[in-house]
Structure 1
Amino acid sequence: MAVCIFFFIILALTSSAIMASPSLDLVQSSCEDATFPKVCFHTLSVFKGPVTTPRELAQAAIKVSISRATKASDFLSELQKEANRREKGAVKDCASQIEDSVDELRKTLGELKELRRDTFKWQMSNAETWVSAALTNEDTCLDGFKEVDGQVRSDVKRKITNVAKVTSNALYLINRLDRP
């Protein structure tokens, strides 16, 4: 009897974990031609939540991008407290750019959640525009560090490049959507 109960518990946990994980076939086939395929596969194959369609995968990619951008924004906020006078301006400008990126990515996620057949092209145009703007903000952030040397520049570049990679992959997955 105890063995049966144990077996059913294991079966229930396993099946709920499988249902909550993305389909690896979907992730693999969708990520193989992404701008950064290894990053795409790595971040989306471990995503927590149901992902069974290309639309859900694009939403997951945006959620990953929002998460990474938010963490980068938090990092930049902390860095502003420690930066010297020369670095402070670049860090402050970068933080503002990344906050804008987070806002644009959130608008994109909202749009992807509400896709409708009659406004699909308009909604997709909005999503693509907002993600492209987020990428531009990330790029602009890095431009501000051309005159800054040292560890701060290196740390910011690493964080923002990571955000830009997942954001670029999200744009790729959005561009693959062909219907609501």
Structure 2
Amino acid sequence: MSLPFSILTFLLLLFLSSSAAAARKSDAPTDDIVRSSCVHASYPNVCVRTLSSYAGSACKTPRDLARAAVNVSLSRTRRVSSYLAHISAGDSKRQREALSDCTEQISDSVDSLSMTLGELQHLQGGETFEWHMSNAQTWVSAALTNDDTCLDGFEGIDGKVKSDVKRKVTNLGRVTSNALYMIKRLDESRGKHL
């Protein structure tokens, strides 16, 4: 009686392990596109971590990855914008001004990244490719500049507000830099494999 139970247990384990291997194998191509695309990004670990959740049937091409990267940046920019709108800058006039300027800069970044998504939506090979690509790169670059400008306003100011803002905006800059990298990869391929 123990022999059939052992065989049954063995067969069950064999079935489960082959099912798990098949599931891993089916995810491999999308993981591969994310990993291979992120390898030369400015922040490769951040790139893989943030884009892995987009891997799957909706993320098969370089354009899909570029859109996903911009979506990540836009989502984080909106969160930082909301955070900035709800924190208190304290009593320092200089800190209040820096926070107000930073809030405006990050709000402008939301607009720039939203326009970038629109350009990527219309991106096709052919005559208009360079026009849309140039617009997308310009707007993501503007968002990166806004991040830097936001942080510049806190120069010479100390305290928790500055350190919190700096941490959040620095992380935001990393995902936005990776988004710009993904868009530039599209430009290098000149629209092939969109």
Q: Partner amino acid for 1:111?
A: E
Within 5 Å, give how 1:32-43 maps onto structure 2.
Answer: 32-43=39-50
Gaps of 5+ in 2: 1-18
Q: Partner amino acid for 2:142?
A: A
Counterpart pick for 1:140 among 140, 149, 152: 149
SS for the counterpart of 2:135 is: helix
Q: Partner amino acid for 1:103?
A: D
Q: Write the deviation string for residues 34-88 of structure 1: whole angstroms up to 9, x where unpaired.
A: 0000000000002377111110000000000000000000110011x35333321
Sequence identity (%): 54
Residue 101 of structure 1: aligned partner: 109
TM superposition score normalised by structure 1: 0.85
Q: Partner amino acid for 2:172?
A: V
Residue 7 of structure 1: aligned partner: none
Aligned equivalents of 1:168, 1:90: Cα separation in 2: 23
Q: Does 1:53 align with 2:35?
A: no
Q: Write the deviation string for residues 82-128 of structure 1: whole angstroms up to 9, x where unpaired.
A: 53333211111000000001100000001001113320001100000
Q: Which has the larger radius of gyration?
A: 2
Are the aligned partners of 2:30 and 2:55 in contact in 1 as well (CA < 8 Å)? no
Residue 167 of structure 1: aligned partner: 176
Are the aligned partners of 2:89 and 2:161 in contact in 1 as well (CA < 8 Å)? no
Are the aligned partners of 2:89 and 2:99 in contact in 1 as well (CA < 8 Å)? no
Aligned equivalents of 1:105, 1:28: Cα separation in 2: 23
RMSD over aligned Cα atoms: 2.1
Q: Write the deviation string for residues 119-166 of structure 1: whole angstroms up to 9, x where unpaired.
A: 000110000011001100000000000021011110000000011000
Q: Partner amino acid for 1:23?
A: T
Q: Write the deviation string for residues 11-49 of structure 1: whole angstroms up to 9, x where unpaired.
A: 9xxx8xx78xx9110000000000000000000002377
Counterpart pick for 1:27 among 34, 37, 44: 34
Counterpart pick for 1:111 among 98, 119, 135: 119
Aligned equivalents of 1:153, 1:82: Cα separation in 2: 9
SS for the counterpart of 2:33 is: helix
Residue 11 of structure 2: aligned partner: none
Aligned equivalents of 1:84, 1:167: Cα separation in 2: 32
Provide the aligned length of Structure 1 versus Structure 2: 164
Q: Displaced runs of 4+ in structure 1, greater than 2 A?
A: 81-86
Are the aligned partners of 2:69 and 2:179 in contact in 1 as well (CA < 8 Å)? yes
